[in-house]
Amino acid sequence: MKAKLLPIITLLMVSVLFLPNTSAQDYRKWGLPTGAKARIGKGWISGNIAFSPDNNLLAVASSIGIWIYDAQTGKEQNLLTGHTDLIWSFAFSPDGNTIASGSEDNTIRLWDVNTGTHKATLSGHTRWVNAVTFSPDGRYLASASSDNTVRLWDVNTGRHKITVMGHIYHVNSIAFSPDGKMLASGGDYDYDSPQLDNSLQLWDVATGEHIITLTGHTEDISTVAFSPDGKTLAAGCRWIDETIRLWDVNTGELKAKLTGHTEGINHVVFSRDGRTLASASDDGTVCLWDVSTGTYKTTLVAHTDAVGSVAFSSDGYQLATGSFDGTVRLWDTVSLDSRITINGHLSNVSCIAFSPDGHTLATGSSDLKLRLWDIATGNNSLTLVGHISYIESTAFSPDGKTIATAGGFDDHTVKLWDATTGTLKNTLFGHWSTIYTVAFSPDGKTIASAGRDQKVCLWDVDTGNHKTTFIGGASEVSSVAFNPDGNTLAIGDWLGIRLWDISTRPYKIGEIDTQSIDSIAFSPDGKTIASGKRDGTLTLWNAINGAKVVTFTGHIGGRGAGVRSVAFSLDGRILASSGGYRDKTVRLWDITTFTPHAALIGHTEGVSSVAFNLDGTTLASASRDGTILLWEYPQPQQTGAAPMQLLPNAETSVSQNYPNPFNPETWIPYQLVEPAKVTISIYAADGKLVRTLALGQQAIGTYQSRNRAAYWDGKNEIGEPVASGVYFYTLTAGEFTATKKMLIQK
């Protein structure tokens, strides 16, 4: 279940103090990296969950840190952040004052439970730390690692005590016997080795010497646990073994083989009295077993995805389960009722899109759901369910009324949703493989989709009818983007970038790059194309003549890396780009000076998507760590009174109004290459003048964001709202004039 330069500003994750009286909503701002103003999502549940010894707290290991909840109410109490990679395991000390956590960053951290502060870092493992556990007396800490070793540490001094070297492959799980004299460790299955290490080992804690090897499982051992009396050892197996085995610790004999789960076992735990064993499985269930007889008792079914962890409270009255469906459930062990559900732990967030008004963020995920979030409150306002595989891409229509989603793997469909009600409006069939990207045309009438089947399809948004298909080469299509005028579609694939003129027939194709492309975007004025490549570079191209403008370097290239997403700010002055799982950064580039502007660091996994909101105040980044970070991104420094030009040889121009269609207000962006007196005249379809916006003398610069663009409130000269229909606006700036069409739709 484990997922796997020229920075000017480096923004690091920091720890937060315990905030016992903080309201539930404030947790969106706990443990934020510098420069971020809020977080959506709590990270997916990456490791175990556990009750504190006094049963007052429930801790959950997530991809961004350890969440601490009130075990009675489910309310957030704290977030422990500091690891630079995924946390796979943690444990409470027997006195409940300390938490130890093991991470993919190869370190173990000790935390003060009462204050949430970081106490110490234990280093020595050379690969991931998969499991940690305290000895019963709290003096020692054991850790299991993918470096094939188990280490014992002195908790008081932080010093390394013993290294146990007996496994030939990764060590997944460990457990102390109740008397603290033995340590059990479960090995991983090494497919590349002539020897199998799917073994269960027992070790002498005092000397580190090997006691016995227990064999029988046919796959890697994911979890081990001693019964409270120390007489029985339980081990669960992942993948196709799907069994739990109970061993007699004294004789090494197999006592029982528990079968019933239909997929692999992620976690097993004994109840405090030792009579019941709970097992969590990839099949989405938790089974309870009678330890004395080795028989099945009952199944808890409430999660919709794999259950990664299960924990009993020390008093035996509560059971907690954590699932990859993003929920933690607290159960009454007597009635077996689920009494509390803790939400917010999202799966891998694969794509994001802002609504045109900037109030809503849409996020697609590997859990097959599209969620709509209220930016102001962080609340999940709607959840759209219908895809049978993960959602690869999403986009809002220009009027904000429709959302498109693209399905991956076995789905192969584009779905159109009503953005207000969440109802499914249409399903578009035509692709036969994963659809990587969808994009609306600027007028909202056409949607483009493309993917692994090498096809780019155009669809009528209103009817769902297929309009045409472009097949340009023997390569998967990774990204498409419409030019702001809607006449050109840029197509990025493993063979480069091609421009498809969709305003004429037959369609004309022009190539401007011949390298493997991960992502593309047009600048707001349509004159520049940004392309992110698999080698980690980012290039700007002249969209008119195909000339290369500049290439930026900084992201890590190679498999699983590259530039996964690119986006221009609305004024065209900032370009954002995101890196893959070996990169984990968002980088900002100043297009006015063609220089690196900032590196935003805070995600613990690769960043799959970036998007600016339309008023230019917020950048959103979505990550495989299951979170979306909202950044107050730093603006470029201005030289003089006016902003610099977007690109060399820029021209005075007026862009398409946004939103369009609109009701009741809209903004008209433009740019000036020389000072001018600016006027915008608005006409009805019959040519009658409706309104004149006299903007006065304006300096050289870009006027794209809502606080700079021309604003029309949809009213005529005497303050009356105008009727629905087609209107035209003409910008006059000195000798320059240009006219564009817009639509009011009420």
Residues 327 and 352 in one domain: no
* Range with lowest mean pLDDT among 25-34, 67-76, 218-227, 567-576: 25-34
Contacts of 157 (CB under 8 A, 6+ apart): none
Q: How does residue 442 score in pLDDT terms, banded at 50, 70 and 90?
A: very high
Of these ranges, 276-285, 471-480, 552-561, the one predicted with the greatest mean pLDDT is 276-285
pLDDT in tens, 494-549: 888 888 888 775 556 667 777 788 999 999 999 999 999 988 899 999 888 888 88
Q: Is residue 195 part of a domain?
A: yes
d(CA 111, CA 129) in angstroms, rounded, equals 16
Residues 267 and 384 in one domain: no
Contacts of 393 (CB under 8 A, 6+ apart): 350, 351, 364, 405, 406, 435, 436, 437, 438
Contacts of 19 (CB under 8 A, 6+ apart): 26, 30, 77, 78
Q: Is residue 547 part of a domain?
A: no
pLDDT in tens, 312-333: 999 989 999 999 888 999 999 9
Q: Is residue 496 part of a domain?
A: no
Residues 180 and 324 in one domain: yes
For the segment 338-353, the average pLDDT, to the nearest whole number, is 88
Question: Residue holding tokens 């309201």?
Answer: 23
Residues 315 and 356 in one domain: no
Q: Is residue 489 part of a domain?
A: no
Q: Is residue 338 part of a domain?
A: yes
| pLDDT at residue 26, rounded to an integer | 78
Residues 222 and 287 in one domain: yes
Q: Is residue 473 part of a domain?
A: no
Q: Of the candidates 441, 466, 491, which is a domain's last residue?
A: 466
Residues 352 and 259 in one domain: no
pLDDT in tens, 358-403: 889 999 988 889 999 998 888 889 999 999 988 999 999 999 999 9
Residue 654 has φ and ψ, to the nearest 5°, of: -125, 135
| pLDDT at residue 512, rounded to an integer | 79
Q: Of the candidates 296, 321, 342, which is a domain's last residue?
A: 342
pLDDT in tens, 456-497: 999 999 999 999 988 766 678 999 999 998 989 999 988 888
The percentage of the chain sitting over the pLDDT mark of 70, rounded to a whole number, equals: 91
Mean pLDDT of the chain: 87
Contacts of 414 (CB under 8 A, 6+ apart): 404, 405, 406, 407, 427, 428, 431, 435, 438, 447, 449, 459
- Measured CA to CA in angstroms, residue 250 lies from 223, 286, 336, 615 at distances of 20, 28, 33, 69
| pLDDT at residue 650, rounded to an integer | 61
Q: Is residue 478 part of a domain?
A: no
Residue 51 has φ and ψ, to the nearest 5°, of: -80, 145
CA-wise closest residue to 8 among 574, 640, 445: 574
Complete DSSP assignment for 416-461: EEETTT--EEEEEE--SS-EEEEEE-TTSSEEEEEETTSEEEEEET
| pLDDT at residue 676, rounded to an integer | 86
| pLDDT at residue 636, rounded to an integer | 56
- Cβ neighbourhood burial of 1 (10 Å; 0-12, 13-18, 19+): middle
Residues 377 and 279 in one domain: no
pTM above the 0.75 mark? yes
pLDDT in tens, 680-717: 999 998 889 999 998 888 877 778 777 678 999 999 98
Residues 452 and 424 in one domain: yes
DSSP H helices, 476-573, are: none
Residues 219 and 334 in one domain: yes
Instruction: Quote the number of domains for the chain.
Output: 3
| pLDDT at residue 14, rounded to an integer | 30
pLDDT in tens, 72-81: 999 999 999 9
The percentage of the chain sitting over the pLDDT mark of 90, rounded to a whole number, equals: 58
Residues 336 and 382 in one domain: no
Name the β-bridge partners of 691: 682
Q: How does residue 259 score in pLDDT terms, banded at 50, 70 and 90?
A: very high
Long-range contacts of 542-546 (CB under 8 A, 24+ apart): 543/483, 543/488, 543/490, 543/499, 543/512, 546/510, 546/511, 546/512
Q: Quick one: tokens of 501?
A: 């003129």
Contacts of 442 (CB under 8 A, 6+ apart): 398, 482, 484, 485, 486, 656, 660
Q: Is residue 612 part of a domain?
A: no
Q: Of the candidates 435, 466, 497, which is a domain's last residue?
A: 466
For the segment 85-110, the average pLDDT, to the nearest whole number, is 95
Q: Quick one: tokens of 101?
A: 């956590």
Given a cut of 50, whether residue 272 has pLDDT beyond it is: yes
**Which residues form the domain of 91?**
42-342
Contacts of 695 (CB under 8 A, 6+ apart): 678, 679, 680, 710
Residues 81 and 96 in one domain: yes
Residues 117 and 222 in one domain: yes
Report the CATH number that the domain containing residue 258 is assigned in CATH.
2.130.10.10
Report the CATH number that the domain containing residue 658 is assigned in CATH.
2.60.40.4070
